[in-house]
Amino acid sequence: MAKTKKVVQLMPTDIKDELLKKYPPKVARKRAKQIMINEATESEAPPEIVANVRTIPGIITMRGCTYAGCKGVIMGPTRDIVNITHGPIGCGFYSWLTRRNQTDAGEDGDNYMPYCFSTDMQDQDIIFGGEKKLEAAIQEAYDLFHPKGICVFATCPVGLIGDDIHAVTRKMKAKFGDCNVFAFSCEGYKGVSQSAGHHIANNQVFTHLVGENTEPKEGEYKINLLGEYNIGGDGFEIDRVLKKCGITNLATFSGNSTYDQFASAQHADLSCVMCHRSINYVADMLETKYGIPWIKVNFIGAKSTAKSLRKIAEYFGDKALIDKVEAVIAEEMLEVESVISDVRPRTDGKTAMLFVGGSRAHHYQDLFEEMGMKTLSAGYEFAHRDDYEGRHVIPDLKVDADSRNIEEIEVEADSEFYNPRKTPEEIKALEDAGYKFKHYEGLNPQMDKGTLIIDDLNQYEAEKLVEIMKPDIFCAGIKEKFSIQKTGVPMKQLHSYDSGGPYAGFKGAVNFYKEIDRLVGSKVWSYMKAPWQENPELTATFVWE
Amino acid sequence: MALLRHTPTEVKERKALMINPAKTCQPIGAMYAALGINGCLPHSHGSQGCCAYHRSTLTRHYKEPISAATSSFTEGASVFGGQANLLQAVNNIFTVYDPEVIAVHTTCLSETIGDDLNQIRDKAIKTGKIPEGKTMIGAPTPSYVGSHVTGFSNMVKAMAQLAEPTGKKSGKVNIIPGWVEPCDMEEIKRLAAMVGVDITLFPDTSGVLNGPLTGEYKMFPDGGVTVKELKAAGDATGTLALGEWCSADAARWLDSKCKVPCSVLDMPFGLAATDRFIDVLRTVAGVPVPDTVAYERGQLVDMISDMHQYFYGKRVALWGDPDQLISMTEFLVSLDMHPVYVVTGTPGKKFEKRIKEICADKPFEVKVKAKGDMFLMHQWIKNEPVDLLIGNTYGKYIARDEDIPMVRWGFPILDRQGHQYFPTVGYKGGLRLLEMILGRLLDRKDRDDPEQKFELVL
């Protein structure tokens, strides 16, 4: 049943005012800078958004913490490293199998992902310090499993009580000799969101692991896929397509990844960045230290996937590869086109809102566009201005007091292994032909004029937006899902995919079209009122017909 | 290939490394308890990651919205104290979300730095951050002490501390149900009504976490115990605390501070524990038990007798929270099943003692561990297998690896539904538990029986 739809003629400025109306003045002033009307009128300066700033206490944010960004997001998906959470039990428990990073344990069979390892700190550890317990825990993990690597993750109290986790891990690494042990100071209170955790993870992985395997890697057209976490099998689908094209993916950071993939990433000739927010640090460092250029790719959406494959082929510039990529695209698009022609009449003209972490609120707009759906409003939990406005704003970014203590590491060209993959002339020739290295234009340019771009959306604003603009589908996470659905608006989780997926690549696009078609067309939204609530005027008369 | 392929059969003692915990941390219990107060917004005084994790886990368990706010500590607040964050939060919460009550709990962060909730609440009152007629309560819930059960208990105690005895007895009985599902709370209310006892149930998440889809989102649904009822709890004739770990602290506080006598009972899972609950209820209220209750009891006894052959001698491993495990172990023993491995992550020596008492003189040896983990339990299973697993969703990895049928029961259940709608307390709940256990065991029999022995009637 089609929903009767309120025709929305509200101006974006009215909607913004409506969102801000209820706040205390200080909160309203702050939120006003995080709610942006895209491409505001010509007379105004180009709109700037405030992002990556502290969360307003009590506002019911969607955000998580630095530990989640570091252990949960970046390191969690690596199957053959034992990840030990140093802290009370909660942090380890909640990040235990709750992100859907799928993995293929391969021939060696090492897979610690179904396990949760924790030092389970007790009050005496808080009082007397937890270093001894951490040391014992690392030893027990080593004795039980003999893994290639053990990583240790700090939680809130660890920084406060002054446990030196780096000293403990250095000591244990030296003691074992055959097991790389290192630590992450990713206390939950650092920075303002998961984002700080990404940065800390990038730094430590690059410092302690990348480049360790100096044995050259076999394969043609060697790339790294950075910032792809194999949620619901996305990475598997991308790998399938790459393989079909004859492109060798040496290392995925970090879906379905292994210790050796991180250790060998410097052997690739190109880095392809999916999630810009979480991994751009490693991309830059690989370029500086080893001379590997990076490009932004997007495998979400069939057309974006085709475009990204072409971009990779163009980089290598080899006719055999270019032809192969075209052949693969043509073959894969057959199914995509057949499904889209079935689905599109039902999805065309429908509207969506997307509020997801630091990357998908942008990427998934490609899929919705392919279905003829318009994005009314979007935003990130924890992205920075460059993810909204594009990397050209990076020189203008100011690090504020809350993020100042996130370490910036300096990387230099490696005296032995630095090897520029293209000559300056080759780079220039590509750039003259319109090729863009180290380029990410951000979310804003993709969105229509007058759409609302909102950073760190909260519960109140989500409810208001849905109430005013009545989207046909709302995309966010598990915490938002059921409050939105209670209002009768279908909700799609774009973190966990509601146990579905993959949504990346060609097969993923097909899955997504079908899923959105199912959701926006589901009859359940017509069952909310009982017949006697729909027609309350019929009161107690006996009518048997 | 096994999913938990790195778990060795040989058991070695571990002193420092917890693997696959059978518990989580305090604040999530406090958050769950606070949702059982009418018009309440739980608030997590710590960095925001905790709050996001706790909301997500509760949401995955209930498939319902879980609202909670957080102080969103930054590094500065973590060093210099979180008072300013909490005061701002309280102001923002009342202005934007307008709850009746804010129930604040803490995390390892705010506990380590030593923030004093009472002092901050006084400051909030003095500076007018709490509007007239609104309430703020607080419970310290350090994650490095106890478990999620401890956090639940601490918030329930903070609820009891709202009691304002007038000196005039109300004739009502307080029932503290402990950490059970919303439908279990409904069932306890139904049983009390059948017996004819006027009760105040707290916390009460029924109507909050098992609500309908109507097209309207209510952040504060109609369910939950009201502040008014909590204030009146000090005038009750007595308190029944169901579960030593979950409920006793609050009941004892009411006893010593408000002179409301209390009895601490086991949670009413299974036949005997439900019998004791009903018997104490009628005794404290001085009322006869109607035949309708005995009728339900008789149905449960009937089903046990009908299907006893399938329960008899079956070896069971169970894990979860102490109060639930004690009653479940007793129930399994009463069915002549053999609960051979019983593990909780929650500390407490009394737990091991109770389980051993229940299993004393029975024809099996029980391995029981408090402060244990599921890695150890899996090792026990590898050494000597069982016929059935009973516990939360994390057991499914063991169930698959070892090919053992599993009943999902406890917290959290992330991969099935039903637990918030169909109770497992009381006699009706006992029937449902038997149905679940039989279903798993008989499905397995049907799967494994050879063709010649495959039968229509069981």
pLDDT of A536: 77
Contacts of B99 in chain A (CB under 8 A): none
CB B177, CB B244: distance < 8 Å: no
**What is the length of chain A?**
545
Name, in order, each residue with C-beta under 8 angstroms of A457's C-beta and a sequence gap of 6 or more.
Answer: A62, A355, A379, A381, A465, A476
Q: How confident is the model at residue A10 (pLDDT cuts 50, 70, 90)?
A: confident
Structure tokens at A101: 């990073």
- Which contiguous run of DSSP H or E holds residue A82? strand A81-86
pLDDT of A4: 46
Helix (H, G, I), strand (E, B) or coil at B99: coil
Residue among B20, B48, B60 whose CB faces A116 most closely: B20
pLDDT of A537: 75
pLDDT of A433: 95
**What is the length of chain B?**
458
**Contact criterion met (CB < 8 Å) for A140 and B16:** yes
- pLDDT > 80? residue A148: yes
Residue/partner pairs of A501-504 with CB below 8 Å, 24 or more apart? A501/A100, A501/A231, A501/A232, A501/A233, A501/A234, A502/A231, A502/A232, A502/A233, A502/A234, A502/A236, A502/A237, A503/A232, A503/A234, A503/A300, A503/A364, A503/A367, A504/A228, A504/A234, A504/A235, A504/A237, A504/A238, A504/A299, A504/A300, A504/A305
pLDDT, tens digit (0-9, with 9 covering 90-100), for A281-291: 999 999 999 99
pLDDT of A436: 97
pLDDT, tens digit (0-9, with 9 covering 90-100), for A168-183: 999 999 999 999 999 9
pLDDT of B154: 98
| Beta-strand pair B367-369/B69-70 | unpaired
Name, in order, each residue with C-beta under 8 angstroms of B399's C-beta and a sequence gap of 6 or more.
Answer: B389, B405, B406
**Contact criterion met (CB < 8 Å) for A91 and B49:** yes
pLDDT, tens digit (0-9, with 9 covering 90-100), for B250-261: 999 999 999 999
Distance in angstroms (rounded) separating the CA atoms of residues A323 and A398: 45
Structure tokens at A391: 């990397």
Give the closest-approach CA distance of A530 to chain B in angstroms: 9
Give A177-190 as a 3 state SS string: CCCEEEEECCCCCC
Structure tokens at A182: 């290192």
pLDDT of A527: 95
- pLDDT > 50? residue A193: yes
Residue among A56, A62, A93 whose CB faces B21 most closely: A93
> How many of the other CB atoms lie within 10 Å of CB of B357?
12
> How many CB pairs (< 8 A) connect A and B?
264
Q: How confident is the model at residue A44 (pLDDT cuts 50, 70, 90)?
A: low
Q: What is the mean pLDDT of chain A?
A: 95
pLDDT of A42: 54
Distance in angstroms (rounded) separating the CA atoms of residues B102 and A380: 28
CB B409, CB B396: distance < 8 Å: no
Between the alpha carbon of residue B314 and those of residues A524, B333, B356, B398, B438, the distances in Å are 42, 10, 18, 18, 11
Name, in order, each residue with C-beta under 8 angstroms of A181's C-beta and a sequence gap of 6 or more.
Answer: A138, A149, A150, A151, A152, A169, A170, A172, A173
Between the alpha carbon of residue A465 and those of residues A384, A473, B30, B65, the distances in Å are 22, 12, 31, 17
Give the closest-approach CA distance of A296 to chain B in angstroms: 29
Where on the phi/psi map is residue A154: left (φ > 0), alpha (ψ -120 to 50), or beta?
A: beta
**Contact criterion met (CB < 8 Å) for A56 and B8:** no
pLDDT of A543: 65
Enumerate residue ranges in chain B where pLDDT < 50: none
**To 5 degrees, how large is the angle CA B310–CA B455–CA B447?**
70
**Contact criterion met (CB < 8 Å) for A488 and B215:** yes
**Contact criterion met (CB < 8 Å) for A56 and B27:** no
**Contact criterion met (CB < 8 Å) for A157 and B112:** yes
CB B163, CB B233: distance < 8 Å: yes
Residue B342, phi then psi, degrees to nearest 5? -130, 115
Contacts of B95 in chain A (CB under 8 A): 22-24, 27
pTM (predicted TM-score): 0.97
CB B428, CB B187: distance < 8 Å: yes
- pLDDT > 80? residue A7: no
Residue B139, phi then psi, degrees to nearest 5? -135, 125
Distance in angstroms (rounded) separating the CA atoms of residues B247 and B234: 16
Cα Rg for chain A, rounded, in angstroms?
25
pLDDT of A534: 85
Distance in angstroms (rounded) separating the CA atoms of residues A269 and B59: 44
- Which contiguous run of DSSP H or E holds residue A131? helix A131-145
Q: Which amino acid is at A138?
A: I
Taking CA–CA distances from B27, the nearest residue in chain A reads A90
Distance in angstroms (rounded) separating the CA atoms of residues B422 and B427: 12
Taking CA–CA distances from A462, the nearest residue in chain B reads B217
Contacts of B65 in chain A (CB under 8 A): 479, 481-483, 486
Return the residue in B32, B35, B92, B220 with the most chain A beta carbons within 10 A, the one to mutate for interface testing. Answer: B92
Range 106-165 of A in CB contact (< 8 A) with B: 109-112, 114-123, 125-126, 133-137, 139-141, 143-145, 155-157, 159-161
Output the DSSP codes for A268-286.
-SEEEESSHHHHHHHHHHH
CB A38, CB A450: distance < 8 Å: yes
Structure tokens at A468: 């005013």
Give the closest-approach CA distance of B298 to chain A in angstroms: 37
Taking CA–CA distances from B401, the nearest residue in chain A reads A114
Contacts of B218 in chain A (CB under 8 A): 486
Q: What DSSP designation does A71 have? A: I
| Beta-strand pair A222-228/A149-154 | unpaired
Range 272-331 of A in CB contact (< 8 A) with B: none
Residue among B53, B55, B65 whose CB faces A90 most closely: B53
Taking CA–CA distances from B82, the nearest residue in chain A reads A57
Angle between helices A165-176 and A131-145 (to 10 degrees): 30
Range 66-85 of A in CB contact (< 8 A) with B: 66-68, 84
**Contact criterion met (CB < 8 Å) for A93 and B24:** yes
**Contact criterion met (CB < 8 Å) for A402 and B397:** no
Between the alpha carbon of residue A447 and those of residues A359, A392, A442, A469, the distances in Å are 14, 18, 10, 16
Helix (H, G, I), strand (E, B) or coil at B317: strand
pLDDT of A2: 42
- pLDDT > 70? residue A1: no
A487 touches chain B (CB under 8 A): yes
A197-207 in b/e form (b: 16+ CB < 10 A) is bbbbbbbbbbe
Where on the phi/psi map is residue A155: left (φ > 0), alpha (ψ -120 to 50), or beta?
A: beta
**Contact criterion met (CB < 8 Å) for B3 and A114:** yes
**Contact criterion met (CB < 8 Å) for B67 and A459:** yes
Distance in angstroms (rounded) separating the CA atoms of residues A467 and A487: 8
Distance in angstroms (rounded) separating the CA atoms of residues B208 and A185: 39
| ipTM computed for the complex | 0.98
- Residue among B424, B387, B420, B391 nearest B407 (CA): B391
CB A158, CB A30: distance < 8 Å: no
Residue A227, phi then psi, degrees to nearest 5? 75, 45
Chain Cα centroid distance, residue A387:
12
Q: How confident is the model at residue A3 (pLDDT cuts 50, 70, 90)?
A: very low
A467 touches chain B (CB under 8 A): no
CB B87, CB B121: distance < 8 Å: no
